[in-house]
Structure 1
Amino acid sequence: MSRKIEAVVFDIGETLVDETRHWAAVAQYAGIPPLTLMGVLGGLIERREHHRSLFGYLQIESVDPNIFGYQIEERDLYPDVVSVVRQLKTAGYVIGITGNQPLGAVQQVAALGLPVDFVGSSSEWGVAKPDHGFFKRIATGLGLGYDQILYVGDRLDNDVLPAQEIGMHAAFIRRGPWGYLQASWPGAADAQHRIDGLAGVIRVLERINAPQEVRS
């Protein structure tokens, strides 16, 4: 019997990667305490402003991570990433990672030993989340229907709701600044699946792929 979901595609920042070191590097570059930066970032999330407006509030130019030498390393992965992704791969799922990051950042994650089949970035595609075109590129690249893909992300506005709107299954992971704050937004009730860690992805797949009872 074929299963409904064939591919699991992960967002990067605060889904797979703990961005604490990144933001600490930005704070150091800006010459402010990390707590100050995180407080401003949290306020922007609640006000639904783009996180890049942070640089305006700090009165510094928007910076490329390459300027201060930040690179995604294995220590930046959340503790559950490697084990869960490997379980999914062993179970036969196609694994993808995509995000609104430079292609180099996506490739850095893919190079950390994860069994990844598909990578994509907004900079490469010329379209960024939450635009539906981003999710269309995922389906096209995988050669699958929208309903055969589970997208996992920490943001309702950028990840979960637009993925659902186009016909994908989606799981909202409550971690990182966006995940915790957006979990209290009214739109959180519209998320098909809510999880607190990547182990929840396996349970979500079990529910989706479970045979439906046929009523006579």
Structure 2
Amino acid sequence: MIRCIVFDIGETLVRDDRYWASWADWLGIPRHTVSALVGAVVAQGRDNADALRLLRPGIDVGAEYAAREAAGRGEHLDDTDLYDDVRPALAELRQLGVRVVIAGNQTAKAGQLLRDLNLPADFVATSGEWGCAKPSTEFFLRVTETTAGAGPWDTVYVGDHPANDTVPAAEFGFRTAHLRRGPWGHLWGTEPAVVETADWVIDSLHDLVSIVQREQQA
């Protein structure tokens, strides 16, 4: 029985367009260049911030992030950054009695911005707030503290990135759903290793509602 569903954030609930566009504008670099480089480094298995380091060798990403915030050009999230299925699907899952948790690799500020959106979720946290990030075991241990007693076998972790989401979550013991959304979700969505590891491969968060309903009726 699925008692809790935990959601990744970037390209699962929130589009990354604004985040990388704002970095491009801050650095005075065409947005397409930044976007393409982010795709390239992630496909190579590198950290996405390596795109900024390629563009500005020697850049102190943390210092630049702080400078953007001080200039009033820092992180921002509003409803236009959410995928269209987020609010209705999360609300339906809660109506079915499922605990909804949001936990992904984002900054501490992103955690507060998400809470300010008043999403239909029971708990929201980010790696920046926890001081540990996916794919570390420590991150998934922290996730278990948010599930209100649901064990890994009763919990589904949903994400678009196999190396950060479905693979480490499955190794930890969670059930997993790979979301074919965003560049990484589509890039790896049909890979045999992803299909074999994930319990489900889905195209919309609404698919989770159907999955929960089927399990409740079984």
TM-score, scaled to structure 2: 0.88
- Equivalent positions of 1:39-54 (< 5 A) are 39-54=36-51
1:32 to 29, 33, 38: 29
| Corresponding residue for residue 136 of structure 2 | 131
Report how far residue 184 of structure 1 moved. 4.7
- Equivalent positions of 1:1-216 (< 5 A) are 4-59=1-56, 60-62=59-61, 63-64=64-65, 66=69, 68-142=73-147, 143-189=149-195, 190-211=197-218
Q: 2:101–2:146: 8 Å Cα contact kept in structure 1? A: no
SS across alignment from 1:13: coil
C-alpha separation in 2, matches of 1:164 and 1:207: 21
**2:126 partner amino acid:** S
Count of aligned pairs? 208
Give 4+ residue runs of structure 1 displaced > 3 Å after superposition: 206-210
C-alpha distance 207-156 of structure 1, shift in aligned 2 (>3 A): farther
Report how far residue 205 of structure 1 moved. 2.4
SS across alignment from 1:156: coil
C-alpha distance 207-131 of structure 1, shift in aligned 2 (>3 A): farther
Q: Which shifted more, 168-177 or 186-195?
A: 186-195
Report how far residue 109 of structure 1 moved. 1.4
Q: 2:158–2:176: 8 Å Cα contact kept in structure 1? A: yes
Q: Which shifted more, 138-147 or 58-67?
A: 58-67
C-alpha separation in 1, matches of 2:176 and 2:115: 21
Q: 1:6–1:93: 8 Å Cα contact kept in structure 2? A: yes
- In the TM superposition, what whole-angstrom CA distance separates every residue of 1:5-37 from its partner, at most 9, and x where no partner exists? 111111111100011011111111121111111
C-alpha separation in 2, matches of 1:77 and 1:148: 26
C-alpha separation in 2, matches of 1:208 and 1:155: 25
C-alpha distance 188-15 of structure 1, shift in aligned 2 (>3 A): same
**1:110 partner amino acid:** R
C-alpha separation in 2, matches of 1:87 and 1:151: 17
SS across alignment from 1:113: coil
Q: 1:8–1:96: 8 Å Cα contact kept in structure 2? A: yes
Q: Which shifted more, 120-129 or 156-165?
A: 120-129
Unpaired runs of 5+ residues, structure 2, are none
C-alpha separation in 2, matches of 1:191 and 1:207: 18
TM-score, scaled to structure 1: 0.89
